[in-house]
Amino acid sequence: MKWLLYVVLISQITGCALFPGAKPWERHHLAKPEMTFGGDEINDGFDDHVYFSKEASSGGRGFGGGGCGCN
Amino acid sequence: MQLAKKKRWILASAVGSLLSTQSRAYGADWQAETAYRYYSETDRVTAMEPVLKLHKTESDGSEIDFSIAYDSLSGASPNGAAVSDEVQTFTSTSGAGAAETTTAASGYRSSRDDRDDDDDDDYEGDDEYGGGVREYTVQPGEIPLDPDFSDDRLSISLQYSTPATRTITTAIGGSYSSESDYLSMAINGGLGLSFNRKNTQLGLNLSLAHDENTPFGGVPTRFSKMSEPSSSGSSESKTIVETLISVTQILSPNAVVQLNYSAGMSQGYHTDPYKIITLLDENLDILDYVAENRPDQRTKHSVFSALKYHAFGDTIDLSYRYMWDDWAITSTTVDVKYRLNLGNVFIQPHYRHYHQEAANFYVTQLHSTDDIPDHASADYRLGTLTSTTYGVKVGLDLGKQQEISFRVESFQQEGESAAANLDAVISQINYKVAF
């Protein structure tokens, strides 16, 4: 039954479309800041800085190189 | 018009701009966002960080982002030495043995004030040398913390992106960060290609950074003893090259997914000049403390995937990252946010879980009876480590394109070293306006 759950979940996310996508006039939800990658840059920047200085990993969604002497 | 106003909120960095497939509003409008964060660790470091970000969208679709941030921190920080059942006395002269910088703003200064966040540490000092000579003691069973360090950091970044054609966007940017003992400069560039009726976007980005480390008291000679401090120079540097390849795919009117691969290589000085390692004799008694030494090269890879899904009027944000490097560090990160929209108010719980495996040169102490290794560090951040963050953000739409939000989070760490056990609280206030 687990496969059925996956099928339902994926079909919900993709809108049951064979080819995923959205028409330009269907993108009003996608235009919201919270649906945009990089739409909450200050928060992401704060978090990246804390975790960069406290963990051995960085980056992923953006560049994670140098920038400070905290690690 | 309401839709156009909402679109104006879209803020993205150069990388973010290129990675996004979503619509964005054109029109010569400004957006400003300011935030203030207070970060506080129990018995350790406290940091305050105000930031201001300005964003402008030109009528031709070009976007400019400018941000400036200032960090100020102080408190006590682990020096790398192991916990002992004896009283431990540390002397900081050439940089070896001094405290390190472990939070958002970083760097160490041998400041002469009398801050002491840990009652178990005693501070004595004089200024014989340029970097200052300090002495402090740590009681048996206590985590060795350098009780007194502080620093300030100023960082500035500027990003510019512009559409070259209907389907190609280019971006360029730079950043500058300055601390009392650390300087970093970086430039980046990128290309965004849209296809499949702008349902798919490919992003190609490159960054080059150069960091200059000028420790107080000089750069400690690798594995030099605290009892016989020596310096190999006044500064060291490293260069970092990173590339980021990204695919963003709109799945439906309610879902968008992103898959990133990034690779970075850094060459130069990776050692923390303020970290030390306990050196034990044949009886396992403390013989001395030595300066750590890390490899002069590191190559990192990471795969990052994220899904944003709009359902029931709310937004679900999921992401996963796997990172690996040639220091044998591997890590996994899971991040979940659920934004509950209630009219003009939103409530967004947040959960993050992180786990890493240790670097192959991580040690808790060294033994005088063993050969000196090529590389060794007792920095708990290079050991096996688990971090957990949970909290909530609450936002209020004030109307007239203004929004205010508050965030409170708990950040906890635990690992194989006692120094890894950390509790911190993050609180933050944001205000943004478009005009």
- Taking only the tens place, the pLDDT of each residue in B20-55 is 444 444 444 899 999 999 999 999 999 999 999 999
Mean pLDDT computed over B142-154: 88
B2's enclosing H/E stretch is: helix B2-7
Q: How far apart are CA B265 and CA B252, in angstroms?
A: 36
pLDDT at B412 over 90: yes
The domain of B21 spans: 2-434
Q: Who among B104, B175, B240 is closest to A53 (CB)?
A: B104
The pLDDT score that the predictor gives to residue B428 is: 96
A11 part of contact set with chain B, CB < 8 Å: no
The separation between CA B298 and the C-alpha centre of its own chain, rounded to angstroms, equals: 17
pLDDT at B145 over 80: yes
The pLDDT score that the predictor gives to residue B6 is: 40
Pairing type for strands B276-280 and B366-367 reads: parallel
The pLDDT score that the predictor gives to residue B125 is: 40
pLDDT at B384 over 80: yes
Domain for residue A54, yes or no?
yes
Chain A residues in contact with B275 (beta carbon < 8 A): none
pLDDT at B115 over 50: no
Q: How far apart are CA B152 and CA B106, in angstroms?
A: 7
Banded pLDDT at B335 (limits 50, 70, 90): very high
Mean pLDDT computed over B58-79: 92
The pLDDT score that the predictor gives to residue B426 is: 96
The pLDDT score that the predictor gives to residue B104 is: 31
CB within 8 Å: B207 and A65: yes
A36 part of contact set with chain B, CB < 8 Å: yes
A64 part of contact set with chain B, CB < 8 Å: yes
The CATH number that applies at residue B237 is 2.40.160.40
What phi and psi, each to the nearest 5 degrees, are found at residue B148?
Answer: -140, 95
Identify the closest residue of chain A to B354 by CA–CA distance: A55
Shortest distance between the Cα of A35 and any Cα of chain B, in A, equals: 6
Banded pLDDT at B121 (limits 50, 70, 90): very low
CB within 8 Å: B11 and A67: no
Mean pLDDT computed over B380-400: 95
A2 part of contact set with chain B, CB < 8 Å: no
| B234-254 tens-digit pLDDT | 999 999 999 999 999 999 999
The pLDDT score that the predictor gives to residue A16 is: 56
Mean pLDDT computed over B355-381: 96
Give the list of residues 6+ apart from residue A25 with CB closer than 8 angstroms, or none.
Answer: none
Give me the interface pTM, i.e. the ipTM. Answer: 0.83
Domain for residue A51, yes or no?
yes
Domain for residue A66, yes or no?
no
Chain A residues in contact with B152 (beta carbon < 8 A): none
**Which of B256, B330, B394 is the best mutation test for A, with the most CBs of A within 10 A?**
B256
The pLDDT score that the predictor gives to residue B149 is: 76
**pLDDT tens, position by position, for chain A (71 residues)?**
666 667 666 666 665 565 688 888 888 889 888 999 988 888 888 898 899 999 999 888 887 655 677 76
pLDDT at B18 over 60: no
The proportion of chain B whose per-residue pLDDT surpasses 90, expressed as a percent, equals 74
Q: Who among B179, B307, B309 is closest to A69 (CB)?
A: B179
Q: Who among B197, B311, B339 is closest to A21 (CB)?
A: B197
Mean pLDDT computed over B286-313: 96
pLDDT at B9 over 50: no
pLDDT at B120 over 70: no
pLDDT at B110 over 50: no
**C-beta separation of A43 from B16 below 8 A:** no
Instruction: Count A/B contacts: CB-CB distance under 8 Å.
Output: 269
CB within 8 Å: B103 and A46: no
The pLDDT score that the predictor gives to residue B298 is: 97
Q: Who among A29, A54, A68 is closest to B179 (CB)?
A: A68
Report the phi/psi class of residue B97: left, alpha or beta, with left for phi > 0 and alpha for psi in -120 to 50: left
**C-beta separation of B45 from B105 below 8 A:** no
CB within 8 Å: B242 and A63: yes
The pLDDT score that the predictor gives to residue A13 is: 63
The pLDDT score that the predictor gives to residue A8 is: 63
Q: Which residues pair with B346 in a beta bridge?
A: B341, B395
B19's enclosing H/E stretch is: helix B14-19
A18 part of contact set with chain B, CB < 8 Å: no
Q: Which residues pair with B305 in a beta bridge?
A: B259, B320
pLDDT at B315 over 80: yes
Q: Who among A31, A50, A59 is closest to B262 (CB)?
A: A59
For chain B, the domain total comes to 1
Mean pLDDT computed over B198-218: 94
Tell me the DSSP string of B303-323. Answer: EEEEEEEEETTEEEEEEEEEE
CB within 8 Å: A54 and B306: no
Q: What is the mean pLDDT of chain B?
A: 86
pLDDT at B202 over 70: yes
CB within 8 Å: B102 and A53: yes
Chain B residues in contact with A67 (beta carbon < 8 A): 155, 175, 177, 184, 186, 209, 211
A8 part of contact set with chain B, CB < 8 Å: no
The domain of A50 spans: 34-58
- In the sheet that B122-126 helps form, which strands lie side by side, from edge to edge? B88-92, B133-138, B122-126
The pLDDT score that the predictor gives to residue A15 is: 59
The pLDDT score that the predictor gives to residue B131 is: 52
Mean pLDDT computed over B273-286: 94
**Which of A47, A52, A70 is the best mutation test for B, with the most CBs of B within 10 A?**
A70
Identify the closest residue of chain A to B421 by CA–CA distance: A54
B236 part of contact set with chain A, CB < 8 Å: no
For chain A, the domain total comes to 1
Identify the closest residue of chain B to A48 by CA–CA distance: B104
Shortest distance between the Cα of B221 and any Cα of chain A, in A, equals: 18
